[in-house]
RNA sequence: GGGCGGGUGGUGGAACGGUAGACACGCGGGUCUUAGAAGCCCGUGCCGCAAGGUGUGAGGGUUCGAUUCCCUCCCCGCCCACCA
């Protein structure tokens, strides 16, 4: 054993040995644990956020292996997507070449940190053998009616020259490029995720090991709303407007109906006089909406359409307006306005001089009058001036109104969701080609002909970057004749391929299942493997994926179940969302602030073990942490102390297991180490990595001052302690620990051995410090035997020198006794 | 506007309703050294020489006892948002 701790001398050695011995491979038997971290987009370099993300998974994977589980811990590359293509446009290099280099560099960095991945299962989404299965899923889902083509208003990013999902728009700007998003009408492909909204919502209840903030975001995102649909016939036209409302009890207070400016029935509502006005209004609103920034509540504006709607109960005619506060793709795109009981409607009515009528009275207090109302009264109450429904509570009224509507055939109760379908076509090159062909002869309506399964994969053509990746104009693939021109699978005549590619969220929606059979050529997922290995036991990633990826892959799991590929309803049992690693200044690491800390620099300076230990010690996994060079140095010093301890005590390295009959310090050493082992084990089970490390520090601090002993029992106790430290620390600082364990006689890697069990007798305390309080204030402390009874402890406490003065001359009213904790004297005065 | 987190020393953070501040950083002192670095040892919430007092964003409540539970409020972060 060397005297000096030199991470550079030991780390590469162990990294090599682990891979050689195949220690991180799945064995195929025993109880399984599937630990997965969100796979990265392989940008050039790993940053600290990555390091932490994979470390949380790695510590668990390493711990689970020693606990005897059959652990799957794979890694792959989310390699398709916008960044690679944008980079390609910028420097005119083919995305495939860049990706290959980036993957190599990223992987080398991962290896240098000592992550315990099974690299034989590595996958890469830009590999045709991966994305062919995206195409396979597309075709299967099309058969199931879960894929469709729609004309839709899409978010168009002028910078990326592509359609982006609602979820990818932030503050009216493209999440990636920051360009102002404009509204454009285009055909696009969509997945019918809304067919599963209800199920996705219901099953959130099963996600008991997900952070509540994530499940609550998903609930919000799905946005189930229960209410009623109410049909308003249009006066003098063969048309009817259906509105959605959660307040059917306010139906008798309707003073107008509002539709979205681009409502599908608009042409039937307008007349010769209003048509132009409405059209101009709609165009104007669209322009304003595109320029809209966050936190700016737009002025409510509207225009009368010229039509009147007939109230389903009173037969009264109310005007139909078009207004900017109604969105076309939520509910039915039309609402009934009840100004007295909805603030938005109230403001609009005031502005345009529309009637306001109170139909809900508060349960208690003064009655409301329609005249001079200062604001809408949105609380539930009692129905008023509402025909036969007058006097009903809001809640009962809603039920009765719905029932009556249903009877009349003019609506009824209804449920609506905020969640939209997932538009997934992208006008991009670096994505999965959509396996569709357009043939003028067989498919004159351009619905798209599915490429037959046996013709998959439709591979991305190798392109002339300069010609194709210009970043503007028609989709890149449309510029590649040898790709776009093909033959129709039906008639064999000339046809054109779909030029659009898939959203990369498709890739990440099922990759967790591909790791189970990464080379399977028959199916995307081997159902037998899936049955054994799913769900993922622990999934680690950033909370920023709460509503996109984490919802899409739940959806995909339901589809895979339907296809008989998997047998679980949910992909992930426990979700861990890790906090951000900020710069030393507490700000987000970025070039802008010049506070970026590079993992490879840190590994080069302090070694992987010190970097790993710091990242885990800095705080609990889900919390943001600030990078701190001083703290890393502290961790490095700590590892040095561990090394020095092992070195100083090296004479005991040949000792075997303690044989009992402890002499000298042996018992104290054994008690300390077993107690530490107990607590570290508990901490690891509950993901308390920072406190687990602290426990080992305590033990090391306790052992460091002890000089090497000649006493046989003490030597054995010390050898045991060092070996236990190596085990306890091995998930965090695996290289150092392997080295020490080997020096202390281990012939196998720690990853091939079993996590030691602590001796409960040794771990137990044998004396207890009682806190003694008088009226809840700490006045003294006493040492008692663990088995000391209540009476004995109380008597001791009362006589204690520090306590007695506070009790002198006072009547003890009560004595609270908490076993092994404290005694509290409650005295008068 | 709605939802969800969070607020503890100079700093990162610990604390099943039971001794607040484990562990670490920083700082101060000591030891070793010709000197330094690295070790090692001691101290370190705040006020106070001390006795003692005080202290977990603010205020109230429950309790023998509250960082922890309840109510009101303030601040910070994240997510959603003319959603009918």
Cβ-based contacts (< 7 Å) between A 674-693 and strand B: 688, 690-691, 693
Distance between start and end Cα atoms, chain A: 67
Cβ-based contacts (< 7 Å) between A 294-333 and strand B: 294-295, 297-301, 324-327, 330-333
Distance from C-alpha of A159 to C-alpha of A181, rounded to nearest angstrom: 9
Weakest-pLDDT range from A172-176, A383-387, A504-508, A708-712 = A172-176
Q: Is the CB of A344 under 7 A from strand B?
A: yes
Q: Is the CB of A242 under 7 A from strand B?
A: no
Q: Is the CB of A637 under 7 A from strand B?
A: yes
C1'-nearest nucleotide to the CA of A622: B5
Residue A278, pLDDT > 80, answer yes
Residue nearest to nucleotide B52 (CA to C1'): A779
Q: How much is the pLDDT for A167?
A: 47
Tokens representing residue A220 in the block = 């919000």
Confidence of residue A293 (pLDDT cuts 50, 70, 90): low
Q: How much is the pLDDT for A471?
A: 65
Residue A527, pLDDT > 70, answer yes
Residue A291, pLDDT > 70, answer no
Q: How much is the pLDDT for A69?
A: 97
Task: Give backbone dihedrals phi and psi of A497, rounded to 5 degrees, phi first.
Answer: -80, 155
Q: How much is the pLDDT for A182?
A: 74
Residue A388, pLDDT > 70, answer yes
Q: Is the CB of A619 under 7 A from strand B?
A: yes
Q: How much is the pLDDT for A461?
A: 93
Q: pLDDT tens, A135-156?
A: 999 999 999 999 999 877 777 7
How far apart, in Å, are the Cα atoms of A135 and each of A431, A436, A562? Answer: 11, 9, 17
Distance from C-alpha of A703 to C-alpha of A119, rounded to nearest angstrom: 39
Give the pairing of strands A422-423 and A182-191: antiparallel
Q: How much is the pLDDT for A254?
A: 95
Query: Could you give the 3-state DSSP secondary structure of residue A211?
Result: coil
C1'-nearest nucleotide to the CA of A288: B82
Distance between the alpha carbon (CA) of A801 and the C1' atom of B50, Å: 19
* pLDDT average, residue stretch A8-32: 94
Tokens representing residue A550 in the block = 């984490």
Mean pLDDT comparison of A49-53, A127-131, A180-184, highest-scoring range: A127-131
Q: What percent of chain A has pLDDT over 90?
A: 60
Q: Is the CB of A787 under 7 A from strand B?
A: no
How far apart, in Å, are the Cα atoms of A218 and each of A197, A212, A215, A233, A374? Answer: 10, 10, 5, 36, 36
Q: How much is the pLDDT for A290?
A: 62
pLDDT: is A18 or A371 the higher one?
Answer: A18
Q: Is the CB of A781 under 7 A from strand B?
A: yes
Q: Is the CB of A413 under 7 A from strand B?
A: no
Distance between the alpha carbon (CA) of A821 and the C1' atom of B47, Å: 30
Distance between the alpha carbon (CA) of A817 and the C1' atom of B24, Å: 34
Weakest-pLDDT range from A93-97, A159-163, A485-489, A664-668 = A159-163
* pLDDT average, residue stretch A592-608: 87
How far apart, in Å, are the Cα atoms of A287 and each of A291, A301, A539, A722, A805? Answer: 7, 14, 42, 70, 80
Residue A738, pLDDT > 90, answer yes
Cβ neighbours of residue A669 under 8 Å, at least 6 residues apart? A703, A706, A714, A717, A718, A720, A721
Residue A106, pLDDT > 50, answer yes
C1'-nearest nucleotide to the CA of A221: B80
The per-residue pLDDT of chain A, averaged, comes to: 90
Q: Is the CB of A411 under 7 A from strand B?
A: no
Q: Is the CB of A248 under 7 A from strand B?
A: no
Confidence of residue A86 (pLDDT cuts 50, 70, 90): confident
The predicted complex's ipTM stands at 0.94
C1'-nearest nucleotide to the CA of A543: B78
Give the pairing of strands A224-234 and A182-191: unpaired
Distance between the alpha carbon (CA) of A608 and the C1' atom of B43, Å: 33
Distance between the alpha carbon (CA) of A218 and the C1' atom of B7, Å: 26
Q: What percent of chain A has pLDDT over 70?
A: 96
* pLDDT average, residue stretch A248-256: 94
Tokens representing residue A349 in the block = 């009515």
C1'-nearest nucleotide to the CA of A419: B83
Confidence of residue A316 (pLDDT cuts 50, 70, 90): very high
Q: How much is the pLDDT for A168?
A: 57
Smallest CA-to-CA distance from A618 within A568, A650, A644, A580 is with A580
* pLDDT average, residue stretch A263-283: 89
Distance between the alpha carbon (CA) of A36 and the C1' atom of B43, Å: 46
pLDDT: is A621 or A328 the higher one?
Answer: A621
Confidence of residue A378 (pLDDT cuts 50, 70, 90): confident
Cβ-based contacts (< 7 Å) between A 696-715 and strand B: 697-698, 701, 704-705
Confidence of residue A780 (pLDDT cuts 50, 70, 90): confident
pLDDT: is A407 or A466 the higher one?
Answer: A407
Neighbours of A185 (CB within 10 A): 11
Q: Is the CB of A547 under 7 A from strand B?
A: yes
Q: How much is the pLDDT for A292?
A: 58
Q: Is the CB of A644 under 7 A from strand B?
A: yes
Computed on alpha carbons and rounded to an integer, the radius of gyration of chain A in Å comes to 34
Q: Is the CB of A518 under 7 A from strand B?
A: no
CA A617 to chain CA centroid, nearest Å: 23
Residue A581, pLDDT > 70, answer yes
How far apart, in Å, are the Cα atoms of A344 and each of A118, A266, A300? Answer: 57, 22, 8
Q: Is the CB of A173 under 7 A from strand B?
A: no
Residue A338, pLDDT > 50, answer yes
Q: Evaluate whether A661 touches A713 at the Cβ level (below 8 Å).
A: yes
DSSP code of residue A205: G
- Longest CA–CA separation in chain A, Å: 109
Q: How much is the pLDDT for A300?
A: 85
Distance between the alpha carbon (CA) of A380 and the C1' atom of B23, Å: 54
Residue A696, CA atoms < 13 Å, CB-side half-sphere: 31
Distance between the alpha carbon (CA) of A693 and the C1' atom of B37, Å: 27
Residue A640, pLDDT > 80, answer yes
Q: pLDDT tens, A294-305?
A: 456 678 889 999
C1'-nearest nucleotide to the CA of A781: B19
Q: How much is the pLDDT for A426?
A: 86
Smallest CA-to-CA distance from A337 within A329, A322, A328 is with A322
β-bridge partners, A823: A772, A817
Q: Is the CB of A172 under 7 A from strand B?
A: no
C1'-nearest nucleotide to the CA of A336: B84
Q: Evaluate whether A737 touches A750 at the Cβ level (below 8 Å).
A: yes
Distance from C-alpha of A764 to C-alpha of A278, rounded to nearest angstrom: 80
Q: How much is the pLDDT for A608?
A: 96
Confidence of residue A391 (pLDDT cuts 50, 70, 90): very high
* pLDDT average, residue stretch A690-705: 94
C1'-nearest nucleotide to the CA of A289: B82
Distance between the alpha carbon (CA) of A417 and the C1' atom of B72, Å: 35
Residue A324, pLDDT > 50, answer yes
* pLDDT average, residue stretch A734-755: 95
Nucleic acid strand B: bases within 7 A of protein CB: 2-5, 11-16, 18-20, 22-26, 38-41, 53, 64-66, 77-84
CA A559 to chain CA centroid, nearest Å: 20
């Amino acid at each position: 054993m060397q005297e000096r701790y030199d991470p550079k001398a030991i780390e590469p050695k162990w990294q090599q040995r682990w891979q050689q011995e195949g220690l991180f491979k799945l064995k195929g038997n025993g109880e399984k644990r599937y630990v997965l971290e969100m796979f990265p987009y392989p940008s050039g370099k790993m940053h600290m956020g990555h390091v932490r993300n994979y470390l949380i998974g790695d510590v668990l994977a390493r711990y689970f292996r020693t606990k005897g589980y059959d652990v799957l811990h794979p890694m792959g590359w989310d390699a398709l997507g916008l960044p690679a293509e944008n980079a390609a446009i910028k420097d005119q290099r083919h995305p495939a070449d860049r990706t290959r280099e980036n993957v190599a560099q990223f992987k080398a960095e991962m290896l240098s940190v000592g992550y315990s991945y099974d690299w034989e299962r590595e996958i890469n989404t830009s590999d045709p053998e991966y994305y062919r299965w995206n195409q396979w899923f597309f075709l299967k889902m099309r058969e199931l009616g879960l894929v469709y083509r729609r004309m839709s208003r899409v978010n168009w990013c002028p910078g990326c020259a592509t359609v982006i999902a609602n979820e990818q728009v932030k503050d009216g700007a493209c999440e990636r490029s920051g360009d102002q998003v404009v509204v454009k009408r285009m055909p696009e492909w969509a997945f019918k995720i809304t067919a599963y909204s209800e199920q996705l919502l219901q099953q959130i209840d099963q996600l008991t090991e997900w952070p509540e903030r994530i499940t609550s975001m998903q609930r919000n995102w799905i946005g189930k709303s229960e209410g009623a649909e109410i049909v308003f016939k249009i006066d003098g036209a063969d048309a009817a407007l259906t509105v959605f409302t959660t307040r059917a009890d306010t139906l008798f207070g309707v003073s107008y109906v509002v539709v979205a400016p681009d409502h599908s029935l608009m042409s039937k509502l307008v007349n010769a006089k209003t048509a132009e006005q409405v059209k101009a209004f709609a165009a104007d609103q669209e322009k304003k909406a595109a320029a809209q920034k966050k936190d700016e509540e737009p002025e409510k504006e509207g225009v009368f359409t010229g039509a009147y709607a007939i109230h389903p109960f009173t037969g009264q005619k109310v005007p139909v307006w078009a207004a900017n506060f109604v969105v076309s793709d939520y509910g039915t795109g039309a609402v009934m306005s009840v100004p007295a009981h909805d603030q938005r409607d109230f403001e609009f009515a005031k502005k345009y001089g529309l009637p306001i009528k109170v139909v809900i009275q508060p349960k208690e207090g003064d009655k409301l009058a329609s005249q001079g109302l200062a604001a809408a009264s949105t609380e539930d109450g009692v129905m008023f001036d509402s025909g036969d429904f007058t006097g009903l509570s809001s809640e009962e009224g809603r039920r009765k109104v719905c029932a009556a509507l249903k009877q009349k055939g003019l609506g009824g109760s209804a449920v609506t969701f905020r969640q939209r379908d997932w538009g997934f076509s992208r006008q991009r090159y670096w994505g999965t080609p959509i396996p569709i062909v357009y043939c003028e002869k067989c498919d004159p309506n351009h619905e798209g002909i599915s490429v037959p399964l046996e013709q998959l994969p439709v591979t991305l053509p190798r392109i002339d970057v300069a010609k194709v990746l210009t970043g503007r104009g028609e989709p890149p693939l449309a510029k590649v004749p040898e790709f776009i021109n093909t033959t129709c699978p039906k008639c064999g005549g000339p046809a054109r391929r779909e030029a659009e590619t898939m959203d990369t969220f498709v890739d990440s929606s099922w990759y967790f299942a591909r790791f189970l059979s990464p080379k399977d050529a028959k199916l995307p997922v081997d159902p037998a493997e899936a049955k054994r290995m799913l769900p993922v036991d622990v999934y680690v990633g950033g909370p920023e994926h709460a509503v996109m990826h984490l919802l899409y892959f739940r959806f995909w799991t339901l589809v895979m179940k339907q296809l008989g590929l998997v047998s679980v309803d949910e992909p992930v049992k426990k979700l861990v969302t890790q906090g951000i690693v900020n710069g030393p200044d507490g700000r987000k690491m970025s070039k802008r602030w010049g506070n970026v800390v590079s993992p490879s620099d840190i590994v080069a300076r302090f070694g992987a073990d010190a970097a790993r230990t710091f990242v885990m010690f800095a705080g609990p996994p889900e919390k943001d942490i600030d990078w701190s060079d001083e703290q890393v140095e502290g961790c490095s010093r700590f590892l040095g102390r561990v090394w020095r301890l092992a070195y100083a005590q090296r004479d005991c390295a040949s000792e075997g297991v303690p044989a009992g009959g402890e002499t000298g310090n042996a018992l104290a050493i054994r008690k300390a180490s077993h107690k530490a082992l107990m607590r570290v084990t508990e901490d690891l089970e509950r993901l308390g990595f920072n406190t687990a490390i602290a426990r080992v520090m305590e033990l090391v601090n306790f052992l460091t001052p002890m000089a090497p002993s000649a006493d046989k029992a003490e030597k054995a106790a010390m050898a045991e302690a060092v070996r236990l430290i190596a085990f306890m620390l091995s998930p965090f600082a695996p290289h150092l620990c392997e080295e020490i364990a080997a020096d202390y006689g281990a012939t196998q890697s720690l990853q091939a051995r079993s996590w030691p069990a602590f001796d409960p007798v040794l771990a137990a305390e044998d004396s207890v410090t009682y806190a003694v309080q008088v009226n809840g204030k700490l006045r003294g402390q006493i040492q008692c035997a663990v088995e000391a009874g209540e009476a004995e402890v109380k008597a001791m406490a009362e006589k204690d020198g520090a306590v007695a003065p506070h009790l002198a001359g006072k009547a003890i009213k009560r004595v609270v006794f908490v076993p092994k904790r404290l005694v509290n004297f409650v005295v008068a005065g």
